[in-house]
């Protein structure tokens, strides 16, 4: 009876997660598109639901909610479904919609979709060859074979986002990096923009008048023919007429200048708004968080370097280790086990919430940037693939942030994976990403007056590996 009640709780939560994913799809991703494929909506919502269910099971594991056997069963069921979706269903539909957009392959789209899926499976399987990700005794169709490869892709993605977040965090959330913008600066730039627009209008008016004069003289109907006639028309002009090619070049240059001035004006307005916002209570709060997480990012970069240099992986979760160091240093009586469980629960909860929120915001920005009416279905399926791999990898890494007694069932469900490899791989890719994005972000911020204009993923994404 308890298994049925536990299953009812899990099914209810999955339905709620599915509904939230459906609403996010309708209200955020596809709100500007009338053509919708229901299979895309279902696949995206199912991926989101089962991804969130894994985090829910982690919380239930810490709180002791549900029976132990029920949690183990739903862990296995959840992993099987999410791997089925990520490895078989989503790649097939991605290939199907790609082929459907090609007219020459439209009639045989099912066949070519299978070819695309088989190509994906080949490279997906070969991905595991260079990495020591699992024991050779696992079968070819075991969960460990699939989740180990999904973990490599997901951990790489997480590390890249975390490296960018570590670089982008100070510029995005700290008012220290805001450029001092006054109303006089904005007014001067707007005047330059208006003057440029007036010059464009004046030159285009001269061109229109010249065309009218040529038409009245009958020169339009007597266009030069041949190579030498075209060269002569470009290099010479009739007495009293305008050199239209030269004026057109000036107009093109002025239009490019006007675009740049418009962007700079928009940046100045955005920076002015951020300066005003930074003076509010909420702005000061986020500024404080910016300093706090900037320090944390520096610490994370230092620890990742230490882990790589000395080839070490922590055996104790950070909360328990931090409390033990503090208690031993201060020499006070403190129930380390009791408080580490509660603080770990809060910490894991924060990581889960910020992970989901940060990834959804990033996916929304990415979708709006590159999607179109024809490619939107493919882009959504790609985002679903990224989201599923991202959340599966989060479980692999969050495991280290939990006290040892709560890692047992996760270790049993995931199988005999080389967990230490994923933590070292995260540190390597994180440092590579940080080193790559640092000069790019610094140059971009120095040339842009508004850090908000280039804000990327939230700073919370640099907190996954503790």
For residue 187, what is the DSSP state? H
Who has greater pLDDT, 466 or 435?
435
Who has greater pLDDT, 233 or 288?
288
Q: Answer whether residue 36 is part of any domain.
A: yes
Q: Answer whether residue 412 is part of any domain.
A: yes
Backbone angles phi, psi at 250, to 5 degrees: -65, -40
Q: Which domain holds residue 445?
A: 2-178+282-463
**Residue 55 CA: distances (Å) to CA of 18, 62, 152, 303, 344:** 14, 11, 19, 26, 14
Residues 335 and 273 in one domain: no
Q: How far apart are CA 247 and CA 88, in angstroms?
A: 59
Q: Which pLDDT score is estimated for 374?
A: 66
Residues 277 and 338 in one domain: no
Q: Answer whether residue 326 is part of any domain.
A: yes
Q: Answer whether residue 235 is part of any domain.
A: no
**Overall number of domains in the chain:** 2
Q: What is the mean pLDDT of the chain?
A: 75
Query: Could you write out the DSSP letters of every residue in 13-63?
Result: HHHHHHHHHHHHIIIIISTT-S---HHHHHHHHHHHHHHHHHHHHHHHHHH
Mean pLDDT, residues 57-78 taken together: 84
Q: Answer whether residue 229 is part of any domain.
A: no
Mean pLDDT, residues 424-440 taken together: 78
Quick one: which of 178, 170, 396, 109 has its CA closest to 292?
A: 170
Quick one: which of 207, 199, 288 has its CA closest to 243?
A: 207
Q: Answer whether residue 406 is part of any domain.
A: yes
Residues 133 and 7 in one domain: yes
Residues 34 and 6 in one domain: yes
Q: Answer whether residue 230 is part of any domain.
A: no
Q: What SS3 class is residue 449?
A: coil
| Per-residue pLDDT tens over the stretch 206-252 | 888 888 888 877 755 455 555 555 555 545 544 445 577 888 888 88
Q: Which pLDDT score is estimated for 327?
A: 59
* Res 23 pLDDT > 70: yes
| Per-residue pLDDT tens over the stretch 143-161 | 777 888 888 888 888 888 7
Q: Which pLDDT score is estimated for 449?
A: 40
Q: Which pLDDT score is estimated for 245?
A: 83
Paired with 134 in beta bridges are 417
Q: Answer whether residue 226 is part of any domain.
A: no
Residues 114 and 259 in one domain: no
Residues 26 and 85 in one domain: yes
What are 456's two structure tokens? 């990327």
When mean pLDDT is compared over 17-21, 31-35, 137-141, the highest value belongs to 17-21
Instruction: Detail the DSSP E strand segments found in 263-303.
Output: none
Mean pLDDT, residues 4-17 taken together: 90
Residues 288 and 406 in one domain: yes
Q: Which of these ranges, 19-28, 126-135, 265-274, 429-438, has the smallest mean pLDDT?
A: 126-135
Residues 80 and 134 in one domain: yes
Which are the contacts of 334, defined by CB distance < 8 A and separation ≥ 6? 323, 327
Residues 12 and 129 in one domain: yes
Residues 306 and 211 in one domain: no
Residues 276 and 288 in one domain: no
Residue 396: CA atoms inside 13 Å, Cβ hemisphere, count? 33
Residues 173 and 265 in one domain: no
Q: How far apart are CA 169 and CA 458, in angstroms?
A: 7
Q: What SS3 class is residue 417?
A: strand
For residue 84, what is the DSSP state? H
Q: Which pLDDT score is estimated for 272?
A: 87
């Amino acid at each position: 009876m308890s298994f049925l009640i536990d299953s009812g709780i899990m099914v209810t939560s999955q339905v709620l997660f599915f509904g939230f994913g459906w609403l996010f799809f309708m209200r955020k991703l596809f709100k500007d598109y009338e053509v919708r494929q229901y299979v895309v909506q279902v696949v995206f919502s199912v991926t989101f639901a089962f991804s969130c269910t894994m985090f829910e099971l982690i919380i239930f594991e810490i709180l002791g909610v549900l029976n132990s056997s029920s949690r183990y069963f739903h862990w296995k069921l959840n992993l099987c479904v999410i791997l089925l979706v990520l490895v078989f269903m989503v790649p097939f539909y991605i290939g199907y919609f790609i082929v459907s957009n090609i007219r020459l392959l439209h009639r045989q789209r099912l066949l070519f979709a299978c070819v695309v899926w088989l190509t994906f499976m080949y490279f997906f399987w070969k991905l595991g060859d260079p990495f020591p990700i699992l024991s050779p005794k696992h079968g070819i169709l075991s969960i460990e074979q699939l989740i180990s490869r999904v973990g490599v892709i997901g951990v790489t993605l997480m590390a890249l986002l975390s490296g960018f977040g570590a670089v982008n965090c100070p510029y995005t959330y700290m008012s220290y990096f805001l450029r001092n913008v006054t109303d006089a600066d904005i007014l001067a730039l707007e005047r330059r923009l208006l003057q440029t627009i007036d010059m464009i209008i004046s030159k285009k008016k001269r061109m229109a008048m010249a065309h009218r004069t040529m038409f009245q003289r009958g020169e339009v109907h007597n266009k030069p023919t041949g190579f030498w006639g075209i060269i002569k028309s470009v290099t010479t002009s009739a007495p009293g007429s305008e050199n239209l090619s030269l004026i057109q070049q000036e107009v093109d240059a002025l239009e490019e200048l006007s675009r740049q001035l418009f962007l700079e004006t928009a940046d100045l307005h955005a920076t002015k708004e951020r300066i005003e916002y930074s003076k509010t209570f909420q702005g000061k709060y986020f500024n404080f968080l910016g300093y706090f997480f900037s320090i944390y990012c520096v610490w994370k970069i230092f620890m990742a370097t230490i882990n790589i240099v000395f080839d070490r992986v922590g055996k104790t979760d950070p909360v328990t280790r931090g409390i033990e160091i503090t208690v031993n240093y201060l020499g006070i009586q403190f129930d380390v086990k009791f408080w580490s469980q509660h603080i770990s629960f809060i910490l894991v909860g924060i990581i889960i919430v910020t992970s989901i929120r940060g990834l959804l915001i990033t996916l929304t920005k990415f979708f709006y940037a590159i999607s179109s009416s024809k490619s939107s279905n493919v882009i959504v399926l790609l985002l679903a693939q990224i989201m599923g791999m991202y959340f599966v990898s989060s479980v692999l890494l969050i495991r280290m942030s939990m006290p040892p007694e709560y890692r047992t069932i996760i270790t049993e469900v995931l199988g005999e994976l080389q967990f230490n490899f994923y933590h070292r791989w995260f540190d390597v890719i994180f440092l590579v990403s940080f080193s790559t994005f640092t000069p790019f972000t610094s140059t971009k911020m120095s040339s842009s007056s508004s850090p908000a204009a280039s804000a990327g993923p939230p700073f919370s994404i640099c907190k996954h590996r503790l």
